[in-house]
Structures are given as C-alpha cells and as structure tokens.
Amino acid sequence: MRHFPPFKLDFVNHCLWKVDAGGQSHPVGLTPRAFDVLRHLVENAGRLVTHEELLNAIWPDTDVQPEVLKGYVLAIRTALGDDAQKPRFIDTHRGRGYRFVARPGSDSGGTAMRPPRGSAGLFLGRGAELEALEDALRLARLGMPQLVFVTGAEGMGKSALVSFFLDRHASDEGLLRSWGACEEGCSDTRPCQAVLDAMARLSIGMDAESMRDALSAWEASLFGSGVGRAAGDAGTRTASAKLIEGASAMALCQLLDTLSASQCLVLVLEDVHRADRATVDFLSSIARRTSAAKLLILATYRPEEASGSVPLLVRVHQQLRVRRLCSDVSLGALRVEAVGEFVSSEDQVDFERFAKQAIEWSGGNPLLLLSLLDHLVDQGVAQRTPLGWSIAQGAFELLKEPPPTLAHHLESRLRCLSAEQQHVLEAGSVIGLEFDAVLAARVAGIDAMSCEDICEELARYGMFIRRAEREATGDEKVVRPYAFLASVYREVLLSRQGPLRLSERRRVAAGDVPRESTLPTIAGAKWSRVSASPPGLRRA
C-alpha cells in the first residue's frame, strides 16, 4: 500500500482509493494498464521515469509506441484530479518521461483496504468458502503447493471472496502476493498472459536484491548462468521480464518454486475462462508438479463460459479434480439470512418479507442484489447508514421491474445466446418462474424433445435457468420442470417481447389456442435436438 493524500494505491486489490473527509475510502476507476503505469511511477517516486523504461516495464517485448503512454497518463491525471500545468502528482518532462512528485508513504505490512460497505466488492455469507481458502493457505505454508479453482456464475462474488481473503492476510510480511487476469482477445498475442503479468507485478513489488537472487538461481538451473548482479533495478526488471516472457510452462513452474521456496506466495489468476492454451498448460503442470514450494494459486472462472471458449480448461480441471491434484470452492446463491448483513436494525420495512422478495428477485446473486439496492437508493426508498441499509415500504413496488442499467446488461448476455435458446427462454418466461419443456415447446411452436434439449443445455451451464424437481404428468410421462435463476431474468425476457407476440403466447400457455395453431417463429431457424454450440459463448 502506498498513500499520497487523499489517495491510497492498493497493491493487493490493484485499486486506487480516495479517502474523504470522514475517513471513508471510495474506489477510483482505473483500467488495469493505467494502474500498472501509476504503480511504476509511484514505486519510483522522485526520479524521472523515461518513456523507454515505462514501456519495458508495462509492455515487455511488445511493440508499443510511446504515444500510447499519453492516454494512460491522461486517464491517471483525470482520476487524481491533477493539473498538468501545476502538477501535484505527475510532472511531465516533454520528450523524456514522467516523474511522480508527491512523496508516497507506505502502510505497515502493506495492509490492504477492505471494500467499503455497499460497494461492488462487498463480502457476504461466504464463511464456509473463506474457511476453505484458509485451509489451503495453511497447507501451502507447510510446503504442500495448492491449486484452488474458485468458480461461480457472473456476479457470484468470486473476486470479492479472493479480495477479502487477501485482505485478512495483508499485514503478513511473510506472505508474497501477486495477481494477473486473463483478458479477452489477448491469447493469440500474449500466451500465458495472466501468469506473465503476475510475475511482472511480483518483480516490481519485491525488493531488487531478493528478485535478483531468485532470478539468478532460476536462470542458473535452466541455463547455467545468472542475471548480472551489477545491473540496476530497472535493468534487472527488464531482464527478468524478457526471461519470464520467453519461458515455457515448466520453466514458469520452476520459477515459482524458486520464489516460494522460503516465503509463501499467493498467486491469483482471474477469469481463466478466457485463458489461452499456454495458461491451461501452466495450471496443469503446476498441479502435477512434485515440490515443497510454499505456493497457493487461486484461479477464478465462470464454468458456463469456459465450457465452450476453453473446453481444454474444463477437461484439465476435471482430470485434476479426479486425481485430487486441486480443490474447488464453488460459489452458489446467497441464502435469505445473508440479506441481514445488508439491512439495518432500524429499517422501516418488513424485513422477512423484503429478504425473501430480494432473494427471489436476484436469485441470491450478490451482483444483482447490489444492483437492486443501488436502484432503491436512486429512487429514494433506501439509504445507506452506518448500520447497513435502511429500506422503506415503497421498495416493494420497485421489485416488479429491473433497473434500466441492469436490464441492458442482461440483454447483452441474452444476445450471446443462439436464436433458438433465446426463443425457448422467452417462451418459458410467458409461463412463469417455473415451466416444463412440454408447455414451453407448445408456446415456442417447436417439438418438445428439441425444447427439452435446449433447456437441459442451458441449465447444465447455469445460463438463466436451472433444473427443478422431476414431476410426472397425467399420462405417466416424466417431465422435468425448469426454473429461472432470478425473477429479474424473467422480467427482462418478458419486456423484450412485443405486445402482439406476448398476448398470443399467453393464450397458447393458457390453452386457448389449438395445438395446430402456429406462432410466428424466427425466420430461417433450424431446430435441432442438440444446439450446435454451448450457451453464452457466441458473441453478438
């Protein structure tokens, strides 16, 4: 942690915070690259950082023009409220580089900041999952390397769980921490991108002597020679970046063994559902490797997206799980009791009724639940208090329609599905929060087997619906009902249907239209027993 009032740069959560007059910290929006640029400037405060040094530190072995830096520095200045003519933080040396002119202080032990109450990183109802991460860390400290997959649908709080876990150990000087994220579209240009970024951050965060010693030992084991100890800090970091960039998965595993031989290292790799093959190979290699490294790797991903975009990841994960070479922390929906951490004891609303409706509306998804509460605040029927959230009676009326921003987000997710999958979900929404494949097929105007195959596929990957209990129809045929994960999903699906189509489908669902009647369907759609591609993977 580095602080330069009124800001704090959080190296653990990779976030810039602004502290208000009351001492409350608020996150300031910065892209990952802008954060890296600011971090390098802060780490080298007081001296001129040349364009070349910045480019080598942030984009090693990548052809990037110096002009790119101007955009990131402008974004940083905007976030800091800095004036280029009278700089308080970043002074520009035209044609040469930049200098961080403020004097940053450091918190004891690099203490991380917990996200403020009510922020997107709020941690709720994850006691068992947190304890599983603590168990993995205890084993790692004993020299038994651990690979933990933290999985869950979008918005289930994977990053919040990991951040809260790291926050609890932020004052531990004997624990190294680093982080990397898989970015969409970068797999072809930067294999093993997330691991490389994590190594780069680790090299910046460690003192130069420790990094030189680790790299010397690692390079000597690979090539029989070491990194020049006479090199300066910037030179060492540039050399380490080049060495790491060209290393294979096995070589990276060996480097991590070296770095975590005497000091425990927690390496966080986020969004590995976007990972390239090299990253998956690395995870497989590190899990199968026999060593006494004090290493804990936390890999987060969404199973519904990894199933198609990175099928290799799913296969490797399953193989490692069967051989007990990894462990899983799977995040499901929050329970009603968790809402108690949101609502204060001074609330004016029937708490039990609000908790049940909020969970039904959000499906227990923390991100959706936070979106709901933010919407209630905007509408003036809720407010944040030191004790939590105070909810007024008018909140119940606003649970009927999704907030516009959330509706747009869910609409973008729906457009990633195939036309057939969207058609079936729309038909199911007309029926209710629960529906069966037979009636949904009737409403959609397709055969029941095709409808069931589509529903099974969506439910298997946790996309908008889940399987409910099996039921038997009157003619003794077994029909499985399906349920929407959250009522807001159904409301969005209903709102995207025109009044004529919606009216006709409701008549069919009510049995007022003969089966032979045909509904307007998607032109040119070819219905098959099994969809050609898994849901949530095809981009609009």
Any alpha helices (H) in 432-529, and if so which ranges?
A: 437-444, 448-460, 487-495, 499-509
pLDDT of residue 244: 56
CB 75 within 8 A of CB 84: no
Q: What is the CA radius of gyration of the chain?
A: 26
The helix/strand/coil state of 282 is: helix
Model pLDDT, residue 109: 37
Q: Which helix (H) or strand (E) holds 125?
A: none
Q: Which residues of the chain have pLDDT under 50?
A: 107-121, 224-239, 241-242, 309, 345, 474, 515-540
Residue type (1 letter), 118:
G
Q: What's the confidence (pLDDT) of residue 527?
A: 41
The pLDDT value recorded for residue 423 is 94
> What is the number of other CB atoms lying within 10 angstroms of the CB of residue 212?
23
Instruction: List the structure tokens of 47.
Output: 């001296």
CB atoms within 10 A of CB 36: 21
How deeply is 490 buried, as exposed, middle or buried, from its count of CB atoms within 10 A (0-12, 13-18, 19+)?
A: buried
Which tens digit of pLDDT belongs to each residue from 182-225? 876 555 556 778 887 787 777 655 555 566 666 666 655 555 44
- Which residues fall within 8 angstroms of residue 442, CB to CB, at 6 or more apart? 448, 508, 509, 515
What the chain holds in terms of domains, given with CATH numbers, is: 2-109 (1.10.10.10), 118-330 (3.40.50.300), 336-400 (no CATH), 417-509 (1.10.10)
- Cα 35 from Cα 482, distance rounded (Å): 43
> Taking the CA of residue 470 as centre, how many other CA atoms within 13 Å lie in the half-sphere pointing to its CB?
6
Query: Judging by DSSP bridges, how do beta strands 146-151 and 295-301 pair with one another?
Result: parallel
pLDDT at 119: 37
User: Across the beta sheet with 105-106, what order do the strands follow?
Assistant: 25-28, 15-19, 7-10, 2-4, 105-106
Cα–Cα dist 395/359, whole Å? 14
pLDDT of residue 477: 65
* Rounded Cα gap, residues 373 and 389, in angstroms: 8
Helix (H) or strand (E) holding 149: strand 146-151
* Residue 233: alpha-carbon gap to chain centroid: 33
As to burial, measured by CB atoms within 10 angstroms (0-12 exposed, 13-18 middle, 19+ buried), residue 478 is exposed
Structure tokens at 347: 């609330």
| Spacing of C-alpha 450 from chain mean position | 33
pLDDT at 72: 87
327 three-class SS: strand
CA distance 273 to 311: 9
Residues across the chain: 540
